[in-house]
Structure 1
Amino acid sequence: PQKGVQLLSVAPASLPASVQVMNRKVQSVQAGGNVTFSCQSVTKEDVIQVTWQKETDGAEDNIATYSTMNGQRVAKGYASHVSFAHSELQASAISLHGVTLQDEGCYKCIFNTFPSGAVTGRMCLNVYAISDPRVEVKLIPNQEKAEDSEKMVRMSCSATGKPAPKITWHLPSILQQKPREYHIKFSNQTVTVISNFTHTHSRILQEYPIACVIQHPSLNVTLVPPTDSLEQGPGNSTMVPAIAIAVGVLVPLTSLLLLTCLVCLCLRHLRDSGRNPDWPCWVGL
């Protein structure tokens, strides 16, 4: 006898719910700038609420929520610089304004679905900053030749940033000494980098091109050391301008006072002209 054939029908399995991060999963922004995080739910299930969180010291800190019943809500600690850029149950985006170093970290967008529960997307933010790039020049005594009047020149280049700025120099080949570099770390994760060196020839800046190069994700700049403070010499660099200013002010002022006195004498003489009408009045300078 012919055996019966049993057919089994298998229903197609529904795709599991997931979250698609619409922006890069790791973003970088300069301190003071703005950044937007966007997520979209990939599911046919009903979304009850969207929640945004920030990972803080191993815990999750609620930033904002959106639901049909309660609308947009931003937590009190974030209300000053976080807002919804887009709010729907299937897609959501928040913007951070005036980003600070404290905003660095990882963020989560959580879609609470029914009946599967929460599905999560994750993205991270790197914040970089730089401040106070400068180059300075000073004349200092030569320690090896204390009796010699020849001064040494000290050049220093520095900047504070996160990550630590990179400092290099454009130096002449005659300079044998390599610059020394120092790093000072702060609790806010910024680092001050100082690079300096000294040279026995105090006129090296006038005779050779020297420049400090600072490199950072938010800034690439070349600084040329100033030479104005070295041209007059360390002792009289401020005295000469002071004398020039004093002379420029006192000479006109003295002339004005003298003229005023002569005019007053002449007016007094004219008031007394009835007594001596033949007296002339002369004002000469």
Structure 2
Amino acid sequence: MCGPTVSLCLLLWMVVMRVSRTQGQVAALTAPHAEVGRPVLIGCNLTMQTGETVKQVRWLDRHKRLLLAYLPTVPVRVSHQAPGVQLTASHSDGSHITITTVRPEDEGCYRCVFDVYPRGPLEGTTCIRVNGRVHMEGNQTAVSGKPATLSCRYNLPEKVQQVLWRKTAEQGDTTTVASFTKHGSHKTEEQYRGRVSLSRTLGDTRLTIQEVRTEDEACYTCEFHTYPDGTRRDRACLSVYVLPKPEVSHVTSSPGVGEANCTARSRPAAEITWNVGGDNRTLGPPTASAYEQGDGTTVVTSTLLFHPALLSDVSVQCVVHHPGLEKPLTVSVNTNN
């Protein structure tokens, strides 16, 4: 039977432990939560009477299988060690072990047994609850009009009761996009129907936008509603690019002065430069203007003034740079060159 409960904080590997007394002799340091794929530390402290000696320490799992056995000599003599278990600390009145990579099946209670001479074995019990970990792919960029998929994983799918996706716009407004439950119920909110689909899976969920729009730029949260561990979530943001489609034109604005204009509408704003083959017959550097549109795009126009004879001698090119392009777009003003 367990005696009264006391509290203890053990700062080791950044694990917060709770302490429970067993038989008034062994304080078992209980790690209530352990994360799949990460290490967890468990331990026991022993209270001995004068003249007593620990002859051996044993650790057993929830199936009463031996995990670790050693003699607390200097140096320690290990007689049995299961894979994935390490002796982290051993002293005259305590023992701490580490399960190096937690698995779902590691959930349960573990026994620490101190073989004490002359009294006999004294033991404590420490229990682990295993939690899953959510992993979402990082921030993504999509091109307007193209599909985009956001993926999210939870490595304890058997505990998931529902998967739910939420969208948080730049202004801070949050809306529910779609959900799927363990019992097969699937729901997509009305404003997203017809262009957003959600995979009917629990452990590996994928939200696909068939044709991305600028208003889809937002941060998306995947939520795994689990039992009994509650809600686990992660978030990533989607940026939407509108690629530029440059247009060029040229006129003679006044006698002896030619004017070339290059315009590109995009998201984010494009950068426009000019390539005039190294010729110096331009009339000063180009000038640029930018105008934000209501749909989130920006129209950039660059104007180049030059001597009209320039077009008959060299190629004059508008060069448009944009982060969504693998290489800049080049459009010639004088298409015959």
TM over 0.5: yes
**Matching of residues 132-171 of structure 1 within 5 Å:** 132-142=245-255, 151-171=256-276
Q: 1:12-69 deviations in whole A, cap 9, x for unaligned?
A: 5333332122xx3111111000011121212376211111111133242111111133
Give the drift of 1:166. 1.1
* Residue in structure 2 matching 1:9, options 114, 117, 124: 124
Residue equivalent to 2:197? 83
Give the drift of 1:182. 0.8
Q: 1:115-166 deviations in whole A, cap 9, x for unaligned?
A: 1210002111111003441111001224xxxxxxxx4211111101111111
Residue equivalent to 1:96? 209
Give 1 or 2: higher strand fraction: 2
User: Cα 1:227–1:137, aligned 2, differ >3 Å: closer, same or farther?
Assistant: farther
Which one has the largest radius of gyration?
1
Give 1 or 2: higher helix fraction: 1
State the alpha-carbon separation in 1 of the partners of residues 179 and 210 from structure 2: 18
Residue equivalent to 2:11? none
Q: Which amino acid aligns with 1:157?
A: C
Give the drift of 1:191. 1.1
* Residue in structure 1 matching 2:291, options 184, 203, 206: 184
State the alpha-carbon separation in 2 of the partners of residues 44 and 2 from structure 1: 52
Q: 1:213-237 deviations in whole A, cap 9, x for unaligned?
A: 0111334211111368xxxxxxxxx
Residue equivalent to 2:221? 108
Residue equivalent to 2:177? 63
| 5+ long unaligned stretches in structure 2 | 1-49, 54-115
Give the secondary-structure state (helix, strand or coil) at the position aligned to 1:87: coil
Q: 1:181-232 deviations in whole A, cap 9, x for unaligned?
A: 1111123221111111222x3221001221110111334211111368xxxx
**TM-score (normalizing by structure 1):** 0.69
Q: What percent identity do the matched residue pairs reach? A: 26
Residue equivalent to 2:161? 48
**Matching of residues 216-231 of structure 1 within 5 Å:** 216-219=322-325, 220-226=328-334
* Residue in structure 1 matching 2:303, options 177, 196, 199: 196
**Matching of residues 264-283 of structure 1 within 5 Å:** none
State the alpha-carbon separation in 1 of the partners of residues 215 and 320 from structure 2: 25
Matched pairs, number: 216
Higher relative contact order, structure no. (Cα contacts within 8 Å, ≥ 6 residues apart): 1
Give the secondary-structure state (helix, strand or coil) at the position aligned to 1:77: helix
State the alpha-carbon separation in 2 of the partners of residues 227 and 87 from structure 1: 53
State the alpha-carbon separation in 2 of the partners of residues 42 and 74 from structure 1: 24
Q: Which amino acid aligns with 1:92?
A: T
Q: Which amino acid aligns with 1:178?
A: P
Check conservation: 1:53, 1:109, Cα contact below 8 A.
yes
Give the drift of 1:107. 0.5
Residue equivalent to 1:32? 145
Give the drift of 1:176. 4.9
Residue equivalent to 2:69? none
Residue equivalent to 1:235? none
Q: Does 1:213 align with 2:262?
A: no
Residue equivalent to 1:20? 135
